[in-house]
Every structure is written in C-alpha cells, then in structure tokens.
C-alpha cells in the first residue's frame, strides 16, 4: 500500500473502531443478550452487531478488502489483503459490566516470506486497538512508531524479571487452562506481579505502553493478537507467535524484548 492508502486505511480503521466503541459504551450497563456460552466464554448478540457495524464502515472505504472476524468472514479471507477484527475483545468482562474491553482491528497483507509479526502466512501492516471506557486509542503502521492517542509510545526498559509485571491469559478451553497454570505458578514467584485481566488486545497495548512488561497466552485467536502484536513491535518490543491446533489459534509471547528469553512459552 502506498502512503496515501495507508493514511486512508488507518482513518477507516479508527473510524470503525470508534463507532463500535460508542456502541459498547452505550450498552455496558444494559442487559446483554447471550447467543452462546461455555464454562469459560460468552458470545453476545452485541458482538455480532459490533462486527457488522465495523464491516460496513470498512467496506465503505475499501469495498474490495475481505474481513476475517471473530463473528465470521466477509469476502475471501485468503485474499491478498484482509481486515482482521475482534469487535469486542474481553466479552466476558463486558457481559459482567467490567469496563475492561476493547475493539481490535488489523489490516494484513499476504507475505509468505516475512517473519516479523507474521501470523497465518500474513503480515500485519496496520493495527488499531480502542478502549472506549478510557477513551484510549492505540495505532500502529508498519515501519512507523506506535502511538497512544497520537503520542509516540515505547515499551518498558525493565530488565530484572523480579521488577516486572507480566500479564497472562487462559483462553477458553480446559486444555489451555491446564497447560498455562504451571507457567502461572512458576512465573508468579519470579516476577513482581502477574495480572489476568481478560482482554488480550488491551494486554498487548499495555505492553506497548510500558504498563506491562510482557503478555503470555496459549490458545489465543488471530483476531485477538493481530493488531496488538504489531503495536508492540512498533513500540520497540518483541512479539512471537506460533500456530497450534484449532482454527486460527496460536500460542504467543509479547514483551519489552529485554526479558523475552526468560519467559515461558505456553505450549
């Protein structure tokens, strides 16, 4: 994409994220309609509504670009370019009225040779994460600095593991829970604090901002990490992921880069 199109794509993603965030904010205290639930996950009618809203906004600006989202696909998700969308990341928090959830939108390009922030044979070239409850908007375009509400951000510079705050996620299955708990037990004895806050894209954005020093999860979905992974990299951090069994599922580690080798890989 040329520079003009990058600006247009970023503007479209920001517009779509803010529109969905406004809908989330208006419904935080309202009764939620649950479409589906399991022991560790909830799907809301509002998830679908937010994704449809995002889809309309993005299609108005780029009608030929496909969309791959948590709530389904629009167009050819294996095309050269695709939007990757999580309309409400942190749905369980949101359902319970906890204002820690966000919108995540990434633009990916097919790039089979790339290793940087590469997931599913695609490279993320643009990322937006919007927290409507704090009015914080993280943006990144590959090759440019990451920003929070327009200001350049950078990962933390902490090098001592004992001084770090590390976030972890437990995904949605019993298998990933059992896989991650031993790492949680070991890591909690080595770092200052472990945080489990329930919104992967926000955890990645917090790593990029220096609030967290690392984020670790296995069984995480592509739409949870596509935008945030790029934001971490553009903020000077390190983002690593590897596909595991399941549709668009990964294990991942993001960090400030200084402690990366001392962090567990949740396989």
Q: Work out the pLDDT band at 32, boundaries 50, 70, 90.
A: confident
Q: Say if residues 161 and 239 touch (Cβ distance below 8 Å).
A: no
Q: Work out the pLDDT band at 165, boundaries 50, 70, 90.
A: very high
| Closest among 25, 90, 95, 84 to 55, alpha carbons compared | 84
pLDDT in tens, 46-101: 899 999 999 999 999 999 999 999 888 888 877 889 999 999 999 999 999 999 99
The model scores a pTM over 0.85: yes
pLDDT in tens, 112-149: 654 444 445 889 999 999 999 999 999 999 999 999 99
The per-residue pLDDT for 176 is 77
Domain map (residue ranges) of the chain? 3-152, 161-262
Torsion sign (Cα): 239, 241, 71, 63 = positive
CATH number for 3-152: choose from 1.10.287.1080, 3.30.540.10, 3.40.50.1370, 3.40.50.300.
3.30.540.10
Specify the length of the chain in residues: 267
Q: Is the pLDDT of residue 204 over 70?
A: yes
Own/partner pairs for 59-67, CB < 8 Å, 24+ apart? 60/12, 61/8, 61/9, 61/11, 61/12, 61/15, 62/8, 62/9, 62/12, 65/107
136 in helix, strand or coil? strand
What average pLDDT does the chain have? 90
The per-residue pLDDT for 112 is 60
Q: What are phi and psi of 32, to 5 degrees?
A: -95, 145
Q: Is the pLDDT of residue 188 over 60?
A: yes
Strand partners, 75: none
Q: Is the pLDDT of residue 223 over 70?
A: yes
The per-residue pLDDT for 39 is 63
Q: Is the pLDDT of residue 242 over 50?
A: yes
4 in helix, strand or coil? helix
The per-residue pLDDT for 3 is 47
The per-residue pLDDT for 227 is 98
Q: Average of pLDDT values for 30-58?
A: 85
pLDDT in tens, 172-183: 777 777 888 888
Strand partners, 77: none
134 in helix, strand or coil? coil
Q: Work out the pLDDT band at 33, boundaries 50, 70, 90.
A: confident
CATH T-level fold of 161-262: D-Maltodextrin-Binding Protein; domain 2 (3.40.190)
Q: Say if residues 100 and 90 touch (Cβ distance below 8 Å).
A: yes
The per-residue pLDDT for 113 is 58
Q: Work out the pLDDT band at 267, boundaries 50, 70, 90.
A: low
Measured CA to CA, the distance from residue 203 to residue 242 in angstroms comes to 18
| Closest among 188, 191, 135, 171 to 267, alpha carbons compared | 171
Per residue, what are the HEC states of 93-131? HHHCCCCCCEEEEEEEEECCCCCCCEECCEEEEEEEEEE
Q: Average of pLDDT values for 17-41?
A: 87
């Amino acid at each position: 994409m040329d520079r003009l199109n990058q600006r247009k794509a970023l503007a479209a993603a920001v517009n779509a994220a803010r529109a969905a965030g406004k809908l989330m904010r208006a419904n935080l205290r309202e009764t939620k309609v649950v479409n589906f639930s399991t022991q560790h996950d909830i799907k809301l009618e509002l998830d679908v509504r937010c994704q449809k809203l995002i889809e309309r906004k993005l299609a108005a600006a780029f009608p030929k670009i496909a969309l791959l989202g948590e709530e389904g696909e629009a167009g050819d998700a294996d095309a050269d370019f695709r939007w990757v969308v999580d309309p409400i990341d942190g749905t369980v928090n949101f359902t319970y009225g906890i204002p820690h959830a966000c919108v995540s939108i990434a633009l990916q390009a097919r790039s089979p040779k790339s290793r940087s922030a590469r997931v599913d044979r695609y490279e993320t070239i643009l990322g937006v994460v919007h927290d409507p409850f704090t009015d914080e908007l993280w943006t990144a375009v590959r090759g440019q600095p990451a920003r929070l509400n327009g200001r350049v951000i950078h990962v933390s510079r902490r090098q001592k593991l004992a001084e770090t705050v590390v976030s972890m996620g437990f995904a949605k299955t019993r298998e990933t829970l059992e896989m991650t708990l031993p790492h949680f037990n070991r890591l909690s004895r080595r770092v200052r604090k472990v945080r489990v806050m329930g919104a992967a894209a926000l955890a990645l954005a917090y790593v990029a901002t220096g609030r967290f020093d690392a984020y670790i999860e296995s069984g995480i979905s592509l739409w949870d990490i596509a935008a945030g992974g790029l934001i971490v990299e553009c903020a000077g951090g390190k983002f690593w992921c590897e596909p595991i069994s399941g549709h668009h599922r990964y294990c991942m580690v993001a960090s400030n880069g200084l402690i990366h080798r001392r962090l567990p890989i949740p396989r």
